[in-house]
Amino acid sequence: MSDEAATATTAAEAPAAEPLPHGLGASLPHADARAKTEGTFPYAADLWAEGLLWAAVLRSPHAHARIVSIDTTHARAMPGVRAVVTHEDVPGTSRHGRGTPDRPVFASEVVRHHGEPIAAVAADHPDTARMAAAAVIVEYEPLDPVTDPERAFEAEPLHPDGNLIRHIPLRHGDPDAAGEIVVEGLYRIGRQDPAPIGAEAGLAVPRPDGGVELYLASTDPHSDRNTAAACFGLPPDRVKIVVTGVPGATADREDQGFQLPLGLLALRTGCPVKLTASREESFLGHAHRHPTLLRYRHHADAEGRLVKVEAQILLDAGAYADTSADALAAAVSFACGPYVVPNAFIEGWAVRTNNPPSGHVRGEGAMQVCAAYEAQMDKLAKKLGLDPADVRLRNVLATGDVLPIGQTVTCPAPVAELLTAVRDYPLPALPKDGPEEDWLLPGGPEGAGEPGAVRRGVGYGLGMVHMLGAEGTDEVSTATVRVHDGVATVLCAAVESGQGFTTLARQIVQETLGIDEVHVAPVDTDQPPAGPGCRG
């Protein structure tokens, strides 16, 4: 047999190559997998520009104080310092805020929380910038801070808009309804920070037209652009946000207080300016999950079916309102959890204090109440002598049920099926490479939890969160697809923050157009907004 015939026979006998993954439901390789694996993926902290300057921010050491004077003379005179900016150097709107614009870019007369920005510096070396920021002399007159949110109701106003941000009373059903079984609880949810892998970083580059481009790990670029333009005193078309790699995003990327000083310094110096925050600076600079005080009383009948839920919910917004009104709406709306509650009476408040600002963190408001109402369900099960899963199954929502806010559940709601599947699934066996008692310690054999402070166990927890705002929104989504030589490119301002958008977009285009090679273009504000949440 000739070589050609042998080759032909082998080719005929060889199995056909498997087709590439294609369309919805296919497991596509992540578009950024190679670059991230090789360490070449461009995060904001990795960016560079010719003539780069470095930024640093001076922050208040006091939780509450009156500013008597700010002296930048010594900082400006230091070799290598190119600019120092304070509240006097903000050419446009001096306040910002994701929900309520009540937060100053730089404090001017009063500081309202520890870590509030006072000034920012640009210098030719990061150490010089930090030393110059420390050389800004600020004379403070310390004031008594209000750190307990319950005190905020009677305290002197901490802000021109007052201490009460919002009050929501929810009334549903018969106020006189009562159950045979009553359980009560007082719950405190502390301040939480997501601490994503990458702390804040950004690069601001001035443009020849007098505008500026900001390279950031933004998850809402059009809103960030509009806020920045208003602060810089520029029209929106002269400010561009370019989204870099997002190293984890649980809403801290939405805090605009970090990016505004950066742009101001670039405009003032006419040079690119970069700021890479330390983890401490990151904690000081962005908003956190709302600390919350919750008082609950659950009424149930003798079989464990809920009759009435009463609750008081107090959110600590910190020094500024931010998205606290929305967070409170979520907390009140979901205060009873995914359960049928014929009678509900909820009071919710969000107040200002001198604590660090709270804001939007994934599932804001809904997470805090979940911890409380689930603890209540466990208390109810214990008092009735029932299995915790059984008590939940007797009360779970299903399609057609009505929420305490008056909304009917019209979507699929397989809560009972999910809980039953979890309950009936056997627990995984403990690894056998160590003593069993070690695995019962908090966090396992090498866990960080203190055995005396943490209990390890298995339990049940149900929760519900909102996807389009607790009070609803007219949400839309837009994208453009360009096809050239059999290759499709998707342009959309939706940001890939780890949720898998780029994979889903590729799958949709493959499924719809039958094109295998699909790319998702980088995001910037030259593209149309992805939806009304972007307010472009």
Distance CA 200, CA 286 (A): 9
Distance CA 462, CA 345 (A): 21
Tokens representing 10 are: 């082998």
Is residue 8 very low, low, confident or very high in pLDDT (cuts 50, 70, 90)? very low
Packing angle between helix 366-384 and helix 324-333, nearest 10 degrees? 20
Cα dihedral 485/488/489/495 (nearest 10): -160
Give 75's strand partners. none
What pLDDT, in 10s, does the model give residues 330-387? 999 999 999 999 999 999 999 999 999 998 888 888 999 999 999 999 999 999 999 9
Fold equal for 45-143+195-285 and 164-180+288-439: no
Is residue 317 very low, low, confident or very high in pLDDT (cuts 50, 70, 90)? very high
Q: 495, 499, 501: which is closest to 518 by C-alpha?
A: 501
Tokens representing 174 are: 């018969």
Return the sign of the alpha-carbon dihedral for residues 70, 74, 77, 78: negative
Report whether pLDDT(19) > 80: no
User: Could you give the count of Cα atoms lying within 13 Å of 464 in the half-sphere of its Cβ?
Assistant: 21
User: 45 and 111 in contact (C-beta within 8 Å)?
Assistant: no
User: 261 and 274 in contact (C-beta within 8 Å)?
Assistant: no
User: 502 and 496 in contact (C-beta within 8 Å)?
Assistant: yes
Tell me if residue 127 falls in helix, strand or coil: helix
DSSP tag of 9: H
Q: 527, 528, 495, 534: which is closest to 216 by C-alpha?
A: 495
Return the number of other C-beta atoms located less than 10 Å from residue 524's C-beta.
19
Report whether pLDDT(294) > 80: yes
User: 527 and 215 in contact (C-beta within 8 Å)?
Assistant: no
Output the CA–CA distances (angstroms, integers) from residue 504 to 389, 459, 491, in the order listed. 35, 33, 13
Buried b (16+ CB within 10 A) or exposed e, 190-209: eeebeebebbbbbbbbbeee
Q: CATH code for 480-534?
A: 3.30.300
Cα dihedral 212/218/224/228 (nearest 10): -30
- Topology of domain 45-143+195-285, per CATH? Aldehyde Oxidoreductase; domain 3 (3.90.1170)
What pLDDT, in 10s, does the model give residues 478-529? 888 999 999 999 998 888 887 788 889 999 999 999 998 999 998 999 887 7
Question: Where are any strands of DSSP class E within 358-454?
Answer: none
User: Could you give the count of Cα atoms lying within 13 Å of 469 in the half-sphere of its Cβ?
Assistant: 12
Which residues lie below 8 Å from residue 280, measured CB to CB, with a gap of 6+? none
Q: Residue 200: what pLDDT?
A: 84
Cα dihedral 208/214/215/220 (nearest 10): -140
| Sheet with strand 110-111: strands edge to edge | 110-111, 65-71, 137-142
Distance CA 302, CA 304 (A): 6
Packing angle between helix 259-269 and helix 221-232, nearest 10 degrees? 50
Distance CA 404, CA 309 (A): 10
The full set of domain ranges for the chain reads 45-143+195-285, 164-180+288-439, 480-534
Q: CATH code for 164-180+288-439?
A: 3.30.365.10
More confident residue, 257 or 411: 411
Q: 493, 475, 51: which is closest to 241 by C-alpha?
A: 493
Return the sign of the alpha-carbon dihedral for residues 280, 284, 288, 291: positive
Contacts 24+ apart (CB under 8 A), 480-485: 480/527, 480/528, 481/509, 481/513, 483/513, 483/515
Residue 448: Cβ-neighbour burial (10 angstroms; 0-12, 13-18, 19+): exposed
More confident residue, 17 or 112: 112
pLDDT (average), residues 210-217: 94
Mapped to the 3 state alphabet, what secondary structure does 407-427 carry?
A: CECCCCCCHHHHHHHHHHCCC
Contacts 24+ apart (CB under 8 A), 85-91: 85/119, 85/120, 85/121, 85/261, 85/264, 85/265, 85/268, 86/118, 86/119, 89/264, 89/268, 90/231, 90/264, 91/232, 91/233
Q: Residue 16: what pLDDT?
A: 52
Residue 278: Cβ-neighbour burial (10 angstroms; 0-12, 13-18, 19+): exposed
Which range, of 41-45, 55-59, 394-398, averages the lowest pLDDT?
41-45
What pLDDT, in 10s, does the model give residues 91-107? 999 998 887 889 999 99
- What percent of the chain clears pLDDT 70, i.e. is strictly above it? 88
User: 169 and 329 in contact (C-beta within 8 Å)?
Assistant: no
pLDDT (average), residues 22-27: 79
